[in-house]
Amino acid sequence: MRELTGQQVVDAIRAETEKTLEALGGYVPTLAIVRVGENVPQLSYEKGAKKRMQNFGLDVKTFVFPEDVTPEVFFQRFREINADSAIDGVLLLKPLPEQLDVRRAEQMIDPEKDLDGISPVNIARVFAGEEAGFAPCTAEAVMETLRTYEVPVHGKRAVVVGRSLVVGRTLAMLLLRDNATVTICHTQTKDLKEECKKAEILAVAAGRAKLIDRDYVSAGCVILDVGINADENGNLCGDVNPEGLSDLAAALTPVPRGIGAVTTSVLAKHLVQAAARRLL
């Protein structure tokens, strides 16, 4: 079984963004990270995103609001950030505290700067099968992984476990756009095992530690594990239990060092794309 590590995908994305940056002739795109409060997973994602932007030679400005910020203050500032011509892309860290209507923020974000595809305009573009706009970074990270490792998608039977808008549902649309025959599974799916066994490409984004084991996998399957969970010992693990898969599956993305590592590179790629679409 091949291990599809994220690093190779990151390198491929970096090479691609470097070309676009060259075409931008020294212009350094700037990402605005907007965070409300001190939520630990958000802080950790922010740290990773900043490091990646630095690594790709991109700038970051962080806008932090107190947990109890009023809607008036937050949305006025959020509008200004979106309108600022010195900012090429905006990443809004979610969830937002209760007093802030997340839908209002999603509708307010400039679709051309909406790097994680949360605006209704970008969602519609993804679901219409269009290439314009931005898809959520994690779903696209899966597609980038398939592309880098030259896994054929066209005509393949793909099964996605998970139907969240941010990962599973969007990923299903991206696989469909590349002409896979796609099945989406979720908590109400009657026989998950049988559905998964039909997969030539199996993408799992359920958020359930080790949900998928060898009983769910057919010989030669390529498995993409999006899950980030803690196992019984508190260690990081995916939605797939890799034990017993080595003589069965063709390939698997590890957790950690798999899809998670690619997500922030897609964010960087989107930032450079946003600048290029505006300036070239």
CB of 33 to ligand NAD, least distance (A): 16
Largest CA distance in the chain: 58
Binding-site size, ligand NAD (CB under 6 A): 25
Q: Which of 6, 89, 227, 242 binds ligand NAD (CB under 6 A)?
A: 227
d(CA 33, CA 46): 8
Q: Which of 81, 185, 217, 237 binds ligand NAD (CB under 6 A)?
A: 185
Which 240-279 positions form the footprint of ligand NAD (CB under 6 A)? 259-260, 263
CA 188 to chain centre: 24
State the binding string over 112-141 for ligand NAD (x if CB under 6 A, else -). --------------------------x---
Is 258 annotated in a binding site? The answer is no
SS3 content of the chain, % helix, strand, coil (to 5): 40, 15, 40
Is 109 annotated in a binding site? The answer is no
Which 137-176 positions form the footprint of ligand NAD (CB under 6 A)? 138, 161-164, 166-168
Please tell me whether residue 80 adopts helix, strand or coil conformation: helix
Q: Which is nearer to ligand NAD, 20 or 164 (CB)?
A: 164
Tell me which H or E stretch contains 274: helix 259-279
d(CA 270, CA 70): 30
DSSP code at position 12: H
Residues near ligand NAD, by CB under 6 A: 138, 161-164, 166-168, 185-187, 189, 192, 205-208, 211, 226-229, 259-260, 263
